[in-house]
Chain A
């Protein structure tokens, strides 16, 4: 019995690598899976198993793992291309100000005092990097900044070129 308690403690220590939001949702469950998969009398996590947990935890922390759980609040700066810079500065959205903040519940886009939009995350069905072809009609104009809406779709956009954060096209659920 003390053997399995030691193993469980070691697995818990590995699971601590995962972001808190993920642990809150899945720790008990994964622990049950790990313990169910352990051999009789096993005292330490198998090296492959441990490496696998650490790798996935790291991916999740780096935001490289695509999943429903958004780990922490994360802010991306939006860089502004040169032609737009004067315009952006005039609207109080100079070099530092434009940013997108992702949180577990919202996508928040702020560009100086002139522009602020908050999109509830449950409204975002999917998001992908934008192709030029995604833009229709007036949206082809590269000076459209911030969040632009057209039916069922939002464009979260920083600049036409020189982006720190690539424009994202979000499909919005009805």
Chain B
């Protein structure tokens, strides 16, 4: 799973959000490192919708502009949980292997 996809799903994990909400949330989650562009975001949303990992939650008109809110589907939640577990396991191994090396250096 690409990092952008992972972050988009993570942004939606806590509740539904609209396009710009996802962009600002992804930026916050990644500590300002990942700034999604509109083209990238909507290509990803379209793909995630086709894979039924997300769905449209509701639509609102704010300042005469359409806001479409997206939410995770149960399948999307499962995929995100599996990916998060995989990343966590990898990170855990990396950290545990780095510890003795770091200790030896000091």
Which of A's residues lie within 8 Å of B, judged by CB? 22, 26, 28-37, 48-49, 52-57, 59-60, 65-69
Q: Across the interface, do B49 and A53 meet the contact criterion of CB distance under 8 Å?
A: no
Cα(A26)–Cα(B40), bound, Å: 13
The 10 closest A-B pairs by CB, nearest first: A67-B46, A68-B50, A56-B39, A28-B66, A52-B39, A52-B37, A32-B65, A33-B19, A36-B20, A53-B39
CB distance from A12 to the nearest CB of B (A): 13
Determine the chain B residues whose CB is within 8 A of the CB of A69 once the complex forms. Answer: 46
Quick check: is B34 within 8 A (CB to CB) of the other chain? no
Q: Across the interface, do A33 and B50 meet the contact criterion of CB distance under 8 Å?
A: no
CB distance from B58 to the nearest CB of A (A): 13
Cα(A53)–Cα(B36), bound, Å: 12
**Contact indicator per residue, chain B 69-100, by CB within 8 Å of chain A (1) or not (0):** 00000000000000000000000000000000
Q: Across the interface, do A67 and B47 meet the contact criterion of CB distance under 8 Å?
A: yes
Determine the chain A residues whose CB is within 8 A of the CB of B67 once the complex forms. Answer: 29, 32
Q: Across the interface, do A48 and B37 meet the contact criterion of CB distance under 8 Å?
A: yes
Closest to B22 in A: A33
Determine the chain B residues whose CB is within 8 A of the CB of A66 once the complex forms. Answer: 47, 50
Determine the chain B residues whose CB is within 8 A of the CB of A22 once the complex forms. Answer: 46
* Residue from A49, A56, A57, A59 having most chain B Cβ neighbours under 10 A: A56
* Residue from B19, B41, B49, B62 having most chain A Cβ neighbours under 10 A: B19
CB distance from B4 to the nearest CB of A (A): 12
Which of B's residues lie within 8 Å of A, judged by CB? 18-20, 23, 37-43, 46-47, 49-50, 62, 65-68
Q: Please list 8 pairs of residues, one from A and one from B, whose beta carbons are closer than 8 Å in the complex, sorted by A's number.
A: A29-B42, A30-B38, A52-B38, A53-B38, A54-B39, A66-B47, A66-B50, A67-B47
Closest to A32 in B: B65
Q: Across the interface, do B49 and A33 meet the contact criterion of CB distance under 8 Å?
A: no
Q: Across the interface, do A56 and B42 meet the contact criterion of CB distance under 8 Å?
A: yes
Closest to A57 in B: B39
Determine the chain A residues whose CB is within 8 A of the CB of B66 once the complex forms. Answer: 28-29, 32
Q: Across the interface, do B19 and A65 meet the contact criterion of CB distance under 8 Å?
A: no
If A29-B68, A60-B43 are given as contacts, then 10 extra A-B residue pairs at C-beta distance below 8 Å, sorted by A number, are A28-B66, A29-B19, A29-B42, A33-B41, A36-B20, A49-B39, A52-B39, A65-B43, A66-B47, A68-B46
CB distance from A10 to the nearest CB of B (A): 13
Determine the chain A residues whose CB is within 8 A of the CB of B47 once the complex forms. Answer: 65-67
Determine the chain A residues whose CB is within 8 A of the CB of B40 once the complex forms. Answer: 52, 56
Q: Across the interface, do A37 and B23 meet the contact criterion of CB distance under 8 Å?
A: yes
